[in-house]
Amino acid sequence: MEFTHFNNAGYARMVDVSEKNDTVRVATAQAVVHMQPSTLAAIKGGGVKKGDVLGVAQVAGVMAAKQTSNIIPMCHPLMLTSIDIAFETDEADSRIVICCQVKTTGKTGVEMEAINGVSIAAMTIYDMSKAIDRWMTITDIMLLEKSGGKNGSVKRLEAQLD
């Protein structure tokens, strides 16, 4: 496999995608925030003093996906056509699973935007809840699937999640 983010002199560069075809591109990523059961109950019940934790985390994740090229140096600025952040509360394991799906029609994929979206949504949950649970952990930040482009569709296998 060849790295494409280096020029002939060995310096970093943004890849030239001008010859690629525009295709519909979709990527879905996830992150998991583990916490104490009482913290999860406070988030679900609106008992966190900073406000609606999941509402704010959703807006933060959308904003982060839109700003990815401003913080990841070699990412292309993209016109995103859709960003959706979803939260699944899991009381049995005392965690929140976050998924971010990002779409565009263009010459390059949106994997980084989806990963950035879930990462910042997870960090926002931590930030808003840390006063009651400083030892929350953020894990399993990963791409789940992507479609579009010359490589087509790929999906992470369940075995890869373990």
Alpha-carbon gap, residue 62 to 126, rounded angstroms: 17
pLDDT digits (tens, 9 = 90+) for 84-124: 999 999 999 999 999 999 999 999 999 999 999 999 999 99
Pairing of strands 80-90, 23-34: unpaired
Pairing of strands 23-34, 95-106: antiparallel
Looking at 16, 90, 93, 127, which residue is catalytic?
Answer: 127
Q: Is 125 within 8 Å of 96 (Cβ atoms)?
A: yes
Nearest to 84 by CA among 112, 58, 107, 105: 58
pTM over 0.85: yes
Domain map of the chain by residue range? 23-147
CATH of domain 23-147: 3.30.70.640
User: Is position 127 annotated as part of the catalytic site?
Assistant: yes
Alpha-carbon gap, residue 118 to 121, rounded angstroms: 5
